[in-house]
Structure 1
Amino acid sequence: MTPTPSDLPEAAKRRLSQGAFTSGLSVSDFAACLEMGLEPLGLVQGFCAMQWTTFGSFGRGVTPFAGSSSGYVENYQCPHGMISSEHRMWGQNYEQTWIENSWRDGFNSAYSRMLEEAGTLGAHGVVGLIDSEGPLSDVGVVEFHLSGTAVRVLDAPAPHHVWSTYLAGQRLAKIFEAGYAPVSVVSSVASVRVLSSCITEYLMGGTGAMWSVNAETTEIEQIVSAQNESRAIARSFVRAQLHGDALHGASMTGLTREFAQGDLEIQSRLSGNRIRRFKDFDPLTAPRPTVRLS
């Protein structure tokens, strides 16, 4: 390590002698953490790469009514009878539990590695957590990446477990002000496969007016049902992770992928902050003015 030059001001020598650290916080979030008594220790990260298979499109002559081994399944029968060999005689929505389990394993592995790295720094928690996922290759490999800033609560004993939150800065300060403390981030994915029935296929192709009562507007019931069930499953997964605590800052995102005509996958992801009340509402002290106009 390069020795500190002797001709520097005393304040500069003191800063250099304390060493350096990394942080993923913005300037305002960093200042707010210091004001709350949180000492940033360093940027921590966790990675995981998972490989799983998404089954391709089924042939029209294959009956899929075995469906999912567990979870949501809904079948749709053709109301027209036998029209031609290419006519869809069935349709089905079913939950892809193996994708949900693989996603959960990948996210939890990256998350636990991030917390383990924070623990080696002596951190009490991780704030400003950011998570992302994306394809690592074209062969079904998905990479999970989580990062955040490890912090230590000044003059406080170490907790039994490192806590985490997507929040930082003033948003985190408001949680403390309301009497809540972060416990962990929670996130889940639900995956529903849609094998279109004949009516759904016609409506999705824009040629289904003849099958509807109202020729101008028609609700595509199979797609609506799949979207609703996907969101309900994601909510149930997150609710199971709360263990009686509250969910704050929830965010629901959706993804639809089309493998072939009439063959869709609908994914819903719900993320948020698990928080727990530890005191009654206690307003923070008024901020001190730093700029005067006169």
Structure 2
Amino acid sequence: MADWDGRGLPPVAAERARRAAAGGAWTSLLSAPAAAGLKVAGFEPVGEVMGSIVQQIGWSGYGGCGIYGGLGGLGGWASPTITSSDSMRFGGFGPYVDALYRGYGTALGRMVQEAATIGADGVVGVGLTMSPLPGGPREFTALGTAVRAGGDIRPHRVFSTHLPGQDVAKLVTAGWMPTDLVYGISVAIRHDDWRTRQQAAWGSGNTEVAGYTELITYARADARGRLGGHVHESGADGAIVSSMDLRVWEIEPGENHIDHVAEATVFGTALVRFHADSAPPTRTLTFLPLR
């Protein structure tokens, strides 16, 4: 087998897609309610699809932002918070966030390409994960069930959504169509200045640590802003958020010089409106106790 040049699908994935496109038995990650809901909405499952990439993140960016934070970096009263979206080249974790975007984006792109190869119109119930591997690399994986529209009206391109089949059915019946899995990622860094150290010290009592509040608020706000930008780029009207996660750790770029880092991620599904029928998509079933 010839060496793969990194373009298109990996050879094993391409062969899997070729077999699926040829017909025969298909596999699915759908639950029974999800499969039934998709049937009501006019979609049929055509196979399980996946995209992945293993990526080494060799350089995360310069972490010692306190040095470049004015008086705060020199042990003063307050320091600035720098996010990965800031233009400052000597601080923040911009290269690290760019690597995360590339990892998730490549995995999603390969999953969608595999779905298109087997003649699918969309992928539902997508799970998007990042897992560390021995030695430092990380595997980014996108996994879902490819579906095909049964009628003559079909999407112009393959859509992807984290939503399960029954939720997709409700949205489609109500006039909404999922378009893309969207996400926003941001990493913010802040030097532990004098005020932060005083507020976080043992014995300070019940008090807000304003520096930490600012750090996580900036990170979350920047991630939400990036999510909004992704929704806008997809041409969608809005998005349903599936998860909002936050991770905080500390680094020591120099002796007695502590910075705190916050990583915020927001994932969701972008939606477009294709009709404005006000009728409810489904009716709740009533269960009566047999007494």
Aligned amino acid, residue 136 of structure 1: L
Do 1:245 and 1:274's aligned partners in 2 also have CA atoms closer than 8 Å?
A: yes
2:247 paired residue among 249, 255, 265: 255
State whether structure 2 residue 114 is matched by structure 1 residue 117.
yes
Distance in 2 of aligned mates of 1:133 and 1:229: 23
Q: Provide the identity percentage.
A: 28
Q: Deviations over 1:160-218 (max 9, x none)?
A: 320111112322222123211111110121001222113323433425x3xxxxxx322
Structural mapping, 1:113-192, within 5 Å? 113-139=110-136, 141-192=137-188
Residue 248 of structure 1: how far off its partner (Å): 1.5
The 1:135–1:56 alpha-carbon spacing in structure 2 relative to 1, beyond 3 Å, is: farther
The 1:88–1:285 alpha-carbon spacing in structure 2 relative to 1, beyond 3 Å, is: closer
Distance in 1 of aligned mates of 2:227 and 2:118: 29
Distance in 2 of aligned mates of 1:186 and 1:110: 13
The 1:204–1:51 alpha-carbon spacing in structure 2 relative to 1, beyond 3 Å, is: farther
Do 1:75 and 1:93's aligned partners in 2 also have CA atoms closer than 8 Å?
A: no
The 1:274–1:262 alpha-carbon spacing in structure 2 relative to 1, beyond 3 Å, is: same
Distance in 1 of aligned mates of 2:62 and 2:230: 32
Structural mapping, 1:59-78, within 5 Å? 64-65=67-68, 77=72
Aligned amino acid, residue 235 of structure 1: R
Structural mapping, 1:11-160, within 5 Å? 19-52=24-57, 53-54=59-60, 58=64, 64-65=67-68, 77=72, 88-89=75-76, 91-95=79-83, 96-139=93-136, 141-160=137-156
Do 2:66 and 2:191's aligned partners in 1 also have CA atoms closer than 8 Å?
A: no
The 1:25–1:180 alpha-carbon spacing in structure 2 relative to 1, beyond 3 Å, is: same
Distance in 1 of aligned mates of 2:142 and 2:185: 16
Q: Which TM-score applies when normalising by structure 2?
A: 0.76
Distance in 2 of aligned mates of 1:200 and 1:179: 50
Residue 116 of structure 1: how far off its partner (Å): 0.4
Distance in 1 of aligned mates of 2:154 and 2:104: 25
Aligned amino acid, residue 30 of structure 1: A
Do 2:162 and 2:242's aligned partners in 1 also have CA atoms closer than 8 Å?
A: no
Q: Secondary structure at the match of 1:200?
A: helix
1:274 corresponds in structure 2 to: 270
Residue 287 of structure 1: how far off its partner (Å): 8.4
Q: Secondary structure at the match of 1:262?
A: strand
Q: Max radius of gyration: which structure? A: 1
Aligned amino acid, residue 263 of structure 2: Q
Q: Deviations over 1:219-277 (max 9, x none)?
A: 21111111111111111111111225211134211111233473322011011110000
The 1:75–1:221 alpha-carbon spacing in structure 2 relative to 1, beyond 3 Å, is: farther
Q: Deviations over 1:38-75 (max 9, x none)?
A: 100111011112222346875xxx9621xxxxxxxx65
Q: Which TM-score applies when normalising by structure 1?
A: 0.75
Question: Of Structure 1 and Structure 2, which has the larger fraction of its residues in helix?
Answer: 2
RMSD of aligned Cα (Å): 3.0
1:237 corresponds in structure 2 to: 226
The 1:188–1:138 alpha-carbon spacing in structure 2 relative to 1, beyond 3 Å, is: farther
State whether structure 2 residue 173 is matched by structure 1 residue 221.
no
Residue 155 of structure 1: how far off its partner (Å): 1.5
Aligned amino acid, residue 190 of structure 1: S
Segments of 5+ residues of structure 1 without an aligned counterpart are 1-17, 66-73, 79-86, 210-215
Do 2:61 and 2:96's aligned partners in 1 also have CA atoms closer than 8 Å?
A: no
